[in-house]
Amino acid sequence: MSSKGVLIMFLCFIVVVTCLSVKSEAQLQVGFYGSTCRDAELIVYQEVRKGFLNNKGIAAGLLRLHFHDCFVRGCDGSVLIDSTSDNVAEKDSPANNPSLRGFDIIDNAKARLESVCKGVVSCADIVAFAARDSVVLTRGIGYKVPAGRRDGRVSLVLDTPTNLPFPTSNLDALTKLFKSKGLTQEEMITLSGSHTIGRSHCTAFSKRLYNFSSTTPQDPSLDPAYAAILKKQCPPGNNPDLVVQMNPSSPNTFDSGYYTDILKSRGLLTSDQTLNSTANTANQVKCNAFEPYQWKRKFAAAMVKMGKLDVLTGTAGEIRLKCRVPN
């Protein structure tokens, strides 16, 4: 191995050790339901697995559901609440509708849990468990999920624009947003790897294909051969129903193909390819691409950290009886 390769491996190792040193907040505990609803995590896993066997794409949907829940008002299950006649909820934001999926899986898990442990397991914890299970089912690394979150009662569409990244976000915008949530740039790059599974609507990146700028119709940072393929899948017109795989070579496998694509200028979204825009972040992309196991370990640690964002615990919030409606 070249000296450069050895250096990359060493730097990757240092980052992994740092990330894995993160400890859970005291108010969240691994095995939180051990004495109150012993089979809680098993029941959630069974429902996620059932949904996954029916539609493998649901894993990416559930992972994204957890991310969008935590970044808006904290990990409180507010993304699950339905809109009403006098309130438009988070889930109906353009950032979430129609792209968010997996609500039915959460509903099914909650119904089963209520039948055996009424009023015990929060919707917010179900979402966190389901995200972890989705990683496992797509061949990622399993991790222990500290639980004890309680459910919020508020869900506002106006909270979403400033708290969720856009598919057109550049590196600076992404770094600042994640920093505002207590997450580092390295953790942002690590968590972005969730795009290794799932799909994207053509409308999220069509500007890169047809209307990039007044002088350049096509984004020059996008591989021309890949752009030609995307144009066949996403013709002009911004049809909101058209979707493509985020990582075409292995769309249902939690691997480092996402980072390999970025190195080949095949990151689908602007917010993906921008990770390769500085020497420092490009090195991190290479690290994740060439050391997939270490990236998976970093991802697990970052997910645990993200899952603690602004949680409600103790007597704050409530335990919803139905995830779509506050008690």
301-312, pLDDT tens digit by residue? 999 999 999 999
pLDDT tens digits for range 42-99: 999 999 999 999 999 999 999 999 999 999 999 999 999 999 999 999 999 999 999 9
The token duo for 174 is 């992404």
Residue 17 has pLDDT above 80, yes or no: no
3-state secondary structure 34-66: CCCCCCHHHHHHHHHHHHHHHCCCHHHHHHHHH
Query: Residue range 20-31: average pLDDT?
Result: 63
| Contact predicate 320/162, CB 8 Å | no
Q: Residue 75 CB: number of other CB atoms within 10 A?
A: 29
pLDDT tens digits for range 317-326: 999 999 999 9
pLDDT the model gives residue 27 = 87
Give the sign of the dihedral formed by CA 159, CA 163, CA 169, CA 172: positive
pLDDT the model gives residue 14 = 45
The one catalytic residue among 66, 68, 149, 324: 68
69 annotated to a ligand binding site: yes
| Contact predicate 202/192, CB 8 Å | no
Residue 2 has pLDDT above 70, yes or no: no
pLDDT the model gives residue 106 = 98
Q: How confident is the model at residue 270 (pLDDT cuts 50, 70, 90)?
A: very high
pLDDT the model gives residue 1 = 54
Amino acid, single-letter form, for residue 188? M
Residues 6+ apart with CB under 8 A from 276: 262, 263, 265, 267, 282, 285
Identify whether 68 is a catalytic site residue.
yes
Q: Where are the domains of the chain?
A: 29-159, 171-306
pLDDT the model gives residue 12 = 60
Q: How confident is the model at residue 294 (pLDDT cuts 50, 70, 90)?
A: very high
How does DSSP classify residue 81?
Answer: P
165 annotated to a ligand binding site: yes
Q: Is 268 helix (H, G, I), strand (E, B) or coil?
A: coil
Compute the distance between CA of residue 101 and CA of residue 155 in angstroms, rounded to an integer. Answer: 17
Q: Which class would CATH give 29-159?
A: mainly alpha
Residue 9 has pLDDT above 90, yes or no: no
Sequence length of the chain is 327
Query: Is the domain defined by 171-306 classed in CATH 1.10.420.10?
Result: yes
Residue 116 has pLDDT above 50, yes or no: yes
* Average pLDDT over the chain, rounded to an integer: 93
Query: Residue range 252-261: average pLDDT?
Result: 97
- Helix ranges restricted to H, the chain: 3-20, 40-54, 58-71, 103-116, 123-137, 171-180, 185-192, 206-210, 224-233, 257-263, 270-273, 279-290, 292-306
240 annotated to a ligand binding site: no
74 annotated to a ligand binding site: yes
195 annotated to a ligand binding site: yes
Query: Residue range 163-182: average pLDDT?
Result: 98
Q: What are phi and psi of 244, to 5 degrees?
A: -135, 160
Compute the distance between CA of residue 274 and CA of residue 174 in angstroms, rounded to an integer. Answer: 9
pLDDT the model gives residue 200 = 97
The token duo for 85 is 């006649």
